[in-house]
Structure 1
Amino acid sequence: MRPNITITIPTPYLPLDEYCRLTGMPIGTAREMVRDGRLPIQPKGNKPRALVEINMEALTVRALSECHISLQA
């Protein structure tokens, strides 16, 4: 029997500046990663000048899928 592991993501979306503060990534690098799709963001809809927020849930799922483990959402 395989163990179940629960992962809690306290903040599903982080503003870009807070993501950079937590990870130590320069803001310019993060903006480039958003532009080329390496960092997933919350859709802005009809507000192109809205705050850029990093989708932490998508990043977590991506990281876990690269570990070749079975996921259930």
Structure 2
Amino acid sequence: MLTISPVIPAPFVTYEEYSRISGLPLGTIKDYVSQGKILVKEKGKTKGRAFVNIIAMHELAAREAKEVLG
């Protein structure tokens, strides 16, 4: 069995950094967040920023891969 250990630079990243990492346009990321396809840490303050939860996204990807690969 193949084991993959991704390097996670930070548990949470900005939408801009996630765009750079994933290659997705910023508009697509915002759409996916609103659809629940990208998991985020909600803003703590009314003027705070939302951050993509990289750890949750890796977990989601691992579960999907396990379903496909068995």
Q: Same fold (TM over 0.5)?
A: yes
- Number of aligned residue pairs: 67
Change (3 A) 1:17 1:6: closer
User: What is the root-mean-square deviation of aligned Cα atoms in Å?
Assistant: 2.1
- Kindly, what percent of the aligned residue pairs are identical? 30
Task: Extract structure 1 runs of 4+ deviating beyond 2 A.
Answer: 2-10
Change (3 A) 1:38 1:48: farther
The structure with more radius of gyration = 1
TM-score by length of 2: 0.76
Higher helix share: 2
Of 44, 51, 55, 1:57 maps to: 55
CA distance in 2 between partners of 1:61 and 1:67 (Å): 10
| Structure 1 unaligned blocks of 5 or more | none
Residues 10-64 of structure 1 deviation map (CA, whole Å, 9 limit, x = unaligned) = 311010011112222111110000111100001224x243212100000000011
TM-score by length of 1: 0.73
Alignment of 1:5-24 (within 5 A): 6-24=5-23
